[in-house]
Chains A and B, each alone.
Chain A
Amino acid sequence: MLTISQRQVGSITIVDLNGKITISEGSAQFREAIRQLVEQEKPRLVLNFAGVTYVDSSGVGELVSTYTAISKQHGQLRLLHVPPRIKELLRITKLLSVFELFDDEAAALQSFR
């Protein structure tokens, strides 16, 4: 079960994620929640992974889709508090070079241009 809540800090939306983002639970919820956010013009999104316990290849795929959707809208995406194992999944598939990761929320917010 994935729970998703949103906070607004100025023009930036912080999405707090709790649970798993996998093909059997979470991926579909994640896709639906994010779809509405990335349809905005120039979306500015922080995905907070502090409460995410597990991601599989499906979850990684959802992150990539989020990135490409936001890029198309000329928006910006930041990943916050990504746990080590999920970071490893991104590292070995060369996706650490695609995403901007932060371990500090204030620094993530300040990074928006």
Chain B
Amino acid sequence: MQEQKTTVGLTIASDFEFVELAELVATNLAKLIEFDEDASTWIGMAVREAVINAIRHGNKQDPNKRVDLRFSLNNDTITVEVIDEGEGFDLRLVPDPLDPENLLKPSGRGIFYMRSFMDRVEFSHPPGGGTVVSMSRRKHSQGEVTSHAND
């Protein structure tokens, strides 16, 4: 059977009130290609965390800057790109939230959660500026998180 591919785009302002919308789109698109309830929830949460980072750290909550989301779907994989207009960052300088000295820090878990919920998370900084977070998850993958199908 030929693999079908669908793409969906969404652009939001740098306001946390749009985080729910981005998450809802991600969760529903995952369900559309028949990810189960649990996996769809984790995918939505990964997108939520990426959008929060884009708004807070990338665009620094500048209302004039936008966050673009591009969703690509095929039969068994969802790929999401979250793109901000910020100055980029050095991933090597992001502290490990599991390090004992960081365990009780109130922030710094977003990227870790994204990596836990998705199979692949990559960061790039295009020449024109901004950060592109590209992440994907395949159906039936063994993620870091435990399934709670009966929640």
Contact = CB atoms under 8 A, between A and B. Distances in A.
B151 A85 contact: yes
Interface in B76-121: 97-98, 103-107, 109-110, 112-113, 116
Contacts of A92: 112-113, 116, 144-145
B17 A24 contact: yes
A61 B52 contact: no
B52 A23 contact: yes
A83 B41 CA distance: 14
Interface residues of B, number: 26
Contact of A68 (B20, B104, B110, B145): B104
Q: What's the dominant secondary structure at chain A's contact region?
A: helix
A94 B98 contact: yes
B45 interface: yes
Interface of B: 16-17, 19-20, 41, 45, 48-49, 52, 97-98, 103-107, 109-110, 112-113, 116, 144-146, 148, 151
